[in-house]
Chains A and B, each alone.
Chain A
Amino acid sequence: MAGAKEIRTKIASIKSTQKITGAMQMVAASKMRKAQDRMAASKPYSEKMLQVISHLARATPEYRHSFMAVERPHKRVGYIVVSSDRGLCGGLNSNLFRRLVIDIKEKRAAGTEPAFCTIGSKALGFFKRFGGDVKAQVTNLGDKPHIEDLIGPVKVMLDAFEAKELDAIYVASNEFVNTMTQRPMIRQLVPIIGEEQSAMPYHWDYIYEPDAHTVLDALLTRYIESLVYQAVVENGACEQASRMVAMKSASDNAGDLIGELQLVYNKARQAAITQEISEIVSGAAAV
C-alpha cells in the first residue's frame, strides 16, 4: 500500500493549499471592494482641481506654466511605473512591464532615452533585472496608500522636467475595467494635454490671493500628485481583483487535481486488495 499512502499525503497537501488560496481569494475580494471605494473617493478632488485649473488657464492666457507648455521634442522621457508590492496576483505586473518594454523599445528606436520612477517593489525588482535609470522609488505603500508617500518621488520627476532633463512624463499603471479585466495603460502626465481653449461664455474671474501664478503653480503640482495617487489607488484595486481571479482559478485547479488523485488512489487501493486476495487464493490452492 506504499503507493496509496503517498497519494493520500499528496491529496492532503493539495487540500491545505486549496484552503490557503480560498482564504486569499476571499481576503482579496473584500480588499477589492474597499480599494474601489477609495478609487471613487479620490475622484472629486482631481475633478474639482481640473475645473479650477482650466478656468485659470483660460482667465490668464498670458501666463503659461511649464507643465502646460507646448510639447518640445522628446530627448528623454520619464515613466512613473506603478506596480504592486506583493505577488500572487496573476499576470498583472508582467502584463504592465511587457507593455512598458514595447513602449520603451519604440521610444529608443526614435532616439529617446527613458528614465524611471518606480512605485511598488515589483517594479523596482523588474528594473533591477532589466536595467534602467531609476531616479526615485517608493515601496511598501500598503493597502491604504497615502498621498504624502508619493510627494517625494513625484517631485523628483517634476523637478527633472522643470530642469529640462525630461521632456515628458508618463504614468504606467493598470486601468480597472472590471473585476475580470485590467488593462495596462501608459498615460501622459506632463505636459498636461490641454483641452480646447474655448472662449468663456461670459467673463468672470477670481480674486486671487496672493496672485494667479502662485495659485496656479500650487494647484498644478497638487493636481499631478493627485493623478499619480489615483493611478496608485486604481492599481491597488486592479491588484486585488487580479489576485482574486488568480486565487479562484488556483482553488479550482486544486479541486480538479484532488479529484484526479482521488481516482488514482482508489485504483491503487483496489489493485492492492485484488493482489492480496489473489495471493491468498493462490496460497490456499498450493496447500
Chain B
Amino acid sequence: MAMTIHVDIVSAEGAIHSGQATMVYATAELGEVGIAPRHTAFISRLKPGDVRVQNEQGEQEHFYVSGGMLEVQPHVVTVLADTAIRARDLDEAAALDAKRRAEEALAGHTAQFEYAKAQAELAEAIAQLRAIEKLRKMKG
C-alpha cells in the first residue's frame, strides 16, 4: 500500500474535501509546492489557483481556491480556503463600501439601485470564476 497523507480542504462556509492522498500540489506564495506524505511541518499563504489532490488510484482531483492558507503536518494537510478573492485594495474597497452604505443609510438616502448593480456585477464575476475553474479542470 502506498503511503498516504490525510487532506482536508475547508472554507469558512463548509468543508470542501476530506480524504487520503499520495500527493498534494498547491500554489503557495513563493511558487508551486508538492506535498508528499511525511512532509515536514510547513505553513504558507496560497495564491489563487488550483489545489490538486492525487489519490491512491493515481487520479487527480482539482479544487480551485481563490487564496487561503496551507498547513502541512507529517500526516495531515489542511487547506484553509478563502471563498472570496482577497487583495489589500479589494478589501479596502469593501471596507469603504461598508462605510459609505452606513453613511447613506443614516442620511436616509437609499442606494438600492447601485446595490442591485453591484450585486449583478458580483454575480457575473462569480460566473466567470466558475468558468475558469471548469476550464482548468478540463485542461488538468
Q: Contact residues of A with B, CB < 8 Å?
A: 38, 41-42, 44-46, 48-49, 52, 56, 117-118, 124, 127-128, 134-140, 146-148, 151-153, 155-156, 159, 204-210, 214-215, 218-219, 222, 225-226, 229
Contact in complex: B14, A38 (CB < 8 Å): yes
What A residues does B71 contact at CB under 8 A? 48, 52, 206
Known: A146-B83, A206-B41. A38 touches B13 (CB 8 A): yes
- Option from B30, B41, B99, B105 in Cβ contact (under 8 Å) with A210: B30
In angstroms, Cα B92 to Cα A153, docked, is 10
**Cβ-defined contact, A148 with B83, below 8 A:** yes
Consensus secondary structure, chain A interface: helix
Q: Tell me the complex Cα distance, A219–B46, Å.
A: 12
CB neighbors of A among B1-42 (8 A): 8, 10-15, 28-30, 40-42
Cβ distance A237 to chain B, nearest Cβ, rounded Å: 14
User: CB distance A48 to B78 under 8 Å?
Assistant: yes
**B131 beta carbon closer than 8 Å to chain A:** no
Interface residues of B (CB under 8 A from A): 8, 10-15, 28-30, 40-45, 69, 71-72, 78, 80, 82-84, 86, 91-99, 101-102, 105-106, 115
Whether A159 contacts B69 by the Cβ 8 Å rule is no
Interfacial chain A residues near B115, Cβ < 8 Å: 140
Q: Given A134-B102, A137-B105, A148-B83, A209–B29 Cβ distance below 8 Å? A: yes
- Note all chain B residues with C-beta closer than 8 A to A138: 98, 101
Across the interface, which residues of B come within 8 angstroms of A140, CB to CB? Answer: 115
B82 touches A222 (CB 8 A): yes
| B105 and A124 form a contact (CB under 8 A) | yes
Within the complex, the shortest CB–CB distance from B82 to chain A, in Å, comes to 7
Is B43 within 8 A of A52, CB to CB?
yes
Alpha-carbon distance between A219 and B82 when the two chains are bound, in angstroms: 11
User: Known: A42-B13, A222-B69, A222-B80. Is A209-B28 also a contact (CB below 8 A)?
Assistant: yes
Chain A residues within an 8 Å CB radius of B95 = 136, 151-153, 155-156, 159
Residues of chain A within 8 A (CB-CB) of B98 are 117, 136-138, 152-153, 155-156
Task: Assess whether A41 is in contact with B15, with CB atoms less than 8 Å apart.
Answer: yes
Determine if A46 and B45 form an interchain contact, defined as CB atoms under 8 angstroms apart.
no
Cα distance, A173 to B100, chains bound together (Å): 23
Chain B residues, CB < 8 A from A135: 99, 102
Q: Closest residue of chain A to B70, judged by CB? A: A209
Chain B residues within 8 Å of A152, by CB? 91, 93-98
A215 lies within 8 A of B43 (CB): yes
In the complex, which residues of chain B have a beta carbon less than 8 angstroms from the beta carbon of A218?
45, 69
**Given A41-B15, A46-B12, A209-B29, A155 contacting B42 (CB threshold 8 A):** no
5 closest cross-chain pairs (CB), A and B: A152-B94, A41-B14, A148-B84, A152-B98, A209-B44
Q: Which residues of B contact A124 (CB under 8 A)?
A: 102, 105
Q: Which residues of A have CB within 8 Å of B84?
A: 146-148, 151
Q: Is there contact, CB below 8 Å, between A151 and B91?
A: yes
Cα–Cα distance between A159 and B88 once the two chains are bound (Å): 12
* Interchain nearest-CB distance for B129 vs A (Å): 12
In the complex, the chain B residue whose C-beta lies closest to that of A134 is B102
* 21 chain-A/chain-B pairs, Cβ below 8 angstroms: A42-B12, A44-B8, A46-B12, A48-B80, A56-B43, A117-B98, A124-B102, A134-B102, A139-B105, A146-B83, A147-B12, A151-B91, A155-B95, A206-B42, A207-B41, A209-B44, A209-B45, A215-B45, A215-B69, A222-B69, A226-B12
